[in-house]
Structure 1
Amino acid sequence: MSLLEIKNMSQNFGGLRALSEFSIRFERGELMALIGPNGAGKTTVFNLTSGFYKPTEGEILFKGQNTVGLKPHQVTGLGIARTFQNIRLWHDMTVLDNIRISQHHNLGYSLWDSLIRSGKYLGAEARIEKTAMEILEALDLLEYREELPKNLPYGIQRKVEIARALSIKPDLLLLDEPAAGLNSADVQELIRLIRWIHKEFDITIWMIEHQMAVVMTLCSRIKVIDFGKTIAEGTPEQIQNNPDVIKAYLGDENI
């Protein structure tokens, strides 16, 4: 059974067809990219996969379960985590608390437990704290645990967002333009980090990315969409030499 299988997924916004008959299948352990020009429908795909939108048509099967109609926190609970193109951290909470709060879907205690500080509450909070500290240590972020994200360099903020996604121990990690806004040194660090996460956490990764150096270095398979339609899928070499891709995306001097 595939980890993720999307079948003929389409999305309409009013009279606009943002995505048309999108299909893809993921096996466990893959590291794949979804690319295309701005406005091609890439983030729409991620929003549908993570439960932020309900597709107009089609199926989304994750570990064999149809997730269409589930809320984002329910999809997260099944094992899909994501980051966003524009970093979405709680900037007035510490880095540690950002990681801790990401596990809210799996608390396992009631409001009453929290009010009386029951054994269930104390045990769950200890587990959440342990997980958060382990993730921060694994990503070399422990020194920032009491810092507010808004006071940190952009590259570190991006790393914290990835750490927050990893803290739920997902089977599938969606990275939406992780290199956006990074300088060349930070991009090289990001490539190293993603490669390490893929291996160390034995996790499946699906990324949207405009920087071809990141995509071509990391991904074994690439899918390309344009105006909501799939125009190519294959290895980095096949994509680089595909005339439709060159015309629609790689040949655009502004990208």
Structure 2
Amino acid sequence: MALLEVKDMTQYFGGLCAVTDFSVTFAGGELMGLIGPNGAGKTTVFNLISGFYQPSRGDIVFKGKNTRGLKPHKVTGLGIARTFQNIRLWFDMSVLDNILVSQYYHLGYSLWDCFLRSNRYLRRETEMRAWAMEILEALDLAQFADELPGNLPYGIQRRVEIARALSTKPDLLMLDEPAAGLNSSDVEGLIKLIAWIHKEFKLSIWMIEHQMDVVMSLCTWIKVIDFGATIAEGTPKEIRENPVVIKAYLGDDAI
């Protein structure tokens, strides 16, 4: 059984078709890229799979379960986590609390347990705090646990967002332009971080990225979309040399 199987996923916004017959399969353990010019529909694909949008037609099957109609927190509970092109942290909460909040779907205790401070509540709170600190330590963020994210450099905020996604214990991690806004040294660090996460956590990673050096150095398979339609897929070498992809990015004169 495939980890993720998307079949002919299509999305309309009024009369505009944003994504057309999109299909992809993750067996498990891949590091795959999704690229295309601005406005191609890449983030719409991620929004559909993570439950922020519901497809107009087509199926999204994750670990054998059709996720159509599920809310984002339900999709996350199944094992799909994501980051966003524009960082979405809670800036009035500490870094540690940002990580803790992301685990609410796995709380395992009731509202009454919380009010009564039952043994179950105390045990789970201790376990979640320990797991949150473990994730922060793994990503070299433990020293920022009590800081507000807004006080941290942009590159560190990106790592915090990735840490928050990892704290949900996903089987599929979706990264939406993780290198956006980073300087060259931060990009180098990001490439190493993503490669390490892929190896250490043994999960599938699917990333949208405009910086081709990031995609080409990390991904073993790349899918390219333009105007919502898939125009190519293959290895980094095949994509780099594909005339249809070159035309989509650079225009007819580039051929």
TM-score, shorter chain, exceeding 0.5: yes
The percent identity for this pair of structures is: 72
CA drift at 1:251? 6.4
If the length of structure 1 is used for normalisation, what is the TM-score?
A: 0.97
Distance 1:251 1:137 in 2: 45
One-letter amino acid of the structure 2 residue matched with residue 100 of structure 1: L
CA drift at 1:147? 0.4
Q: Which residue of 1 aligns with 2:123?
A: 123
Q: How does 1:1-255 map to 2 (within 5 A)?
A: 1-249=1-249
Look up the SS of the partner of 1:51 in the other structure: coil
One-letter amino acid of the structure 1 residue matched with residue 236 of structure 2: P
Could you give the per-residue CA deviations for residues 21-48 of structure 1, whole angstroms, max 9, x where no partner exists? Answer: 0001111110000000111000000000
Could you give the per-residue CA deviations for residues 1-33 of structure 1, whole angstroms, max 9, x where no partner exists? Answer: 111010000000011100000001111110000
Look up the SS of the partner of 2:84 in the other structure: coil
One-letter amino acid of the structure 2 residue matched with residue 182 of structure 1: L
Distance 2:118 2:54 in 1: 38
Distance 1:143 1:76 in 2: 27
Distance 2:232 2:82 in 1: 24
Look up the SS of the partner of 1:200 in the other structure: helix
Question: What is the root-mean-square deviation of aligned Cα atoms in Å?
Answer: 1.0
Distance 1:40 1:84 in 2: 16
Look up the SS of the partner of 1:88 in the other structure: coil
CA drift at 1:250? 5.8
CA drift at 1:111? 1.2
Look up the SS of the partner of 2:54 in the other structure: coil
Look up the SS of the partner of 1:147 in the other structure: coil
If the length of structure 2 is used for normalisation, what is the TM-score?
A: 0.97
Structure 1: gaps (5+ residues) = none
Distance 1:111 1:195 in 2: 39
One-letter amino acid of the structure 1 residue matched with residue 125 of structure 2: E
Look up the SS of the partner of 2:214 in the other structure: helix
Look up the SS of the partner of 1:173 in the other structure: strand
Distance 1:32 1:113 in 2: 42
Distance 1:241 1:202 in 2: 30
On the 8 A contact 1:240/1:250 being kept in 2, the answer is no
Distance 1:208 1:180 in 2: 10
Cα distance change, pair 110–188 in 1 and its aligned pair in 2 (3 A): same
Distance 1:119 1:233 in 2: 52
CA drift at 1:68? 0.6
Distance 1:137 1:32 in 2: 26
Distance 2:27 2:175 in 1: 17
One-letter amino acid of the structure 1 residue matched with residue 40 of structure 2: A
Look up the SS of the partner of 1:40 in the other structure: coil
Distance 1:66 1:47 in 2: 16
Distance 1:251 1:84 in 2: 28
Structure 2: gaps (5+ residues) = none
What number of residue pairs does the alignment pair up? Answer: 252
